[in-house]
Amino acid sequence: MNQPAPVAGVGQELEAEAPGRWRQLTIISGGVLLAFAPWFSASAVGPLLERAWQPTGLDLPLLTVAVQLGFAAAAIVLALSGAADVIDGPRLFVGGAIVAAIGNLGFAALAADPASALPWRALTGAGLAAVYPVAVKMLSGWFRRERGLAVGALIGALTVGSALPHLIRAVGATNGLAWQPTVAIASAIAVAGGLLVGVAGRSGPLEVPASRFSPSAAIRAFREPSVRLANLGYLGHMWELYAMWTWVPAFLAASFVAAGTTDPAAGAAASFIVVASGGVGCVVAGILADRFGRTRLTIAAMAGSGGSAVAIGFLFGAAPPAVLALAIAWGITVVADSAQFSAAVSELAPPGTAGSALSLQLAAGFILTGVTILGLGILAPAGDGWRIAFLILAGGPAIGIVAMARLRGRPEAVKMASGHR
């Protein structure tokens, strides 16, 4: 069948603008997957830390909150300094991965209690702030038409990488591996991710300078009702996401024990499967959002994740296959929409303000995750507590659905996803 000739200067230019982009997508996404191995190290070895340190109250969830706050603070510092404009992307990525690995290794080797672990966990988050945003910037330089798919694949890689400590713990549990080697292995994996991008990663020909954070530009962007609605949808999403990732391993382990399964490897393996399953959701959602619209995709994903959050608490102690099946559905939907909120802000913000608006969105979202992670720590560790905690967690997606539905009804929504809203 004869194919129509490309329009001169358009189709040919787009085809020629970024040769090798699929190879770079593989390299950069692979680097992110490996570099993010330290993120949930503390959560993965939580049961071992409980025996070793005898923590009280919110000691253990604070170890994850420290990563969130370290990430948020470093992201703003990088945006304020314009470091991404000065330092080559692959080099900054390598530096961030190594800093994250050092922070995680310090946690394993030098922390003797929760208080002494907090600075090391914050350092881990700060290092990762030079990995994820830099990777997005690098990939954006390689993709124009398939950017939704590319960023979806990148966040899918981040999701699988965040699940890696649970896989390490599952393998180590069968051999009685202590928590320190489990965490140290995650650090080694992060270094490998940094080196992968440092050696083979390249910034793309479409790359534009990173925007420095400007409070005035951010304020100008958030004066737009559509930007505020997209950000509210993002905050509803973040209210749920990281609290789910932090606490679903503890829920699964406790539920399995209540059902009569005492093998610690079972809970760790299930946790890896549940969190990593979100990687599939991110890739599929990136394709669907570009085709059917960002608001439609985010509403569907939040409906699925919120409904799963409500239902799964009532399955506590049920047959492990049933609990795992619903948890996988939750794992897929809870992160599927993640990239679309940032994409929406980049499309809706006035020219010259998107970078600052996204920096502020990122910082606000990660600070909010600390609230829900600690909140679930107060409510969750009991059968009835899980139901109440997850019901509260579902409130975020409910608010996000309302925000995105209102955004869909606004005329400026046609700026998103090539008019698909």
Question: What are the tens digits of pLDDT across the range 163-216?
Answer: 999 999 998 887 788 999 999 999 999 999 999 999 999 988 877 666 677 778
- How confident is the model at residue 12, as a pLDDT? 39
Contact assessment for residue 210 and residue 127, using Cβ atoms and an 8 Å cutoff = no
What is d(CA 297, CA 301) in angstroms, rounded to the nearest whole number?
6
pLDDT, tens only, 162-177: 999 999 999 888 778 8
What is d(CA 67, CA 176) in angstroms, rounded to the nearest whole number?
27
pLDDT, tens only, 7-45: 334 343 444 457 888 999 999 999 999 999 999 999 999
Name the pLDDT band for 332 (thresholds 50, 70, 90). very high
What is d(CA 20, CA 22) in angstroms, rounded to the nearest whole number?
6
Give the count of beta carbons closer than 10 Å to the beta carbon of residue 176. Answer: 7
Same fold, 20-210 and 214-421: yes
The tokens 């600052």 sit on which residue? 356
Name the pLDDT band for 325 (thresholds 50, 70, 90). very high
Instruction: Report, as an integer, the average pLDDT of 322-329.
Output: 96
Looking at domain 20-210, its CATH class is mainly alpha
Which residues are within 8 A (CB) of 255 and not within 5 positions of it... i.e. 6 or more apart? 315, 316, 317, 318, 320, 323, 386
**Backbone dihedral region of 344: left (phi > 0), alpha (psi from -120 to 50 degrees) or beta?**
alpha
- Torsion over CA of 241, 40, 152 and 406, rounded to 10 degrees? 10
Using only C-alpha atoms, what is the Rg of the chain? 21
What's the fold here for domain 214-421? Growth Hormone; Chain: A; (1.20.1250)
End-to-end CA separation in angstroms for the chain: 34
Residue 343 has which token pair?
A: 């994409």
Delimit the domains of the chain by residue range.
Answer: 20-210, 214-421
Tell me phi and psi for residue 224, to 5 degrees. -80, 120
- How confident is the model at residue 13, as a pLDDT? 41
Name the pLDDT band for 417 (thresholds 50, 70, 90). low
pLDDT, tens only, 241-263: 999 999 999 899 989 998 988 88
**Backbone dihedral region of 351: left (phi > 0), alpha (psi from -120 to 50 degrees) or beta?**
beta
Cα 370 to its chain centre, rounded Å, is 14
- Least confident stretch, 120-129, 216-225, 262-271: 216-225
pLDDT, tens only, 94-136: 999 999 999 999 999 999 999 999 999 999 999 999 998 888 8
**Residue of 192, 159, 209 whose CA lies nearest to 27:** 192
3-state secondary structure 261-302: CCCHHHHHHHHHHHHHCHHHHHHHHHHHHHHHCHHHHHHHHH
- How confident is the model at residue 240, as a pLDDT? 95
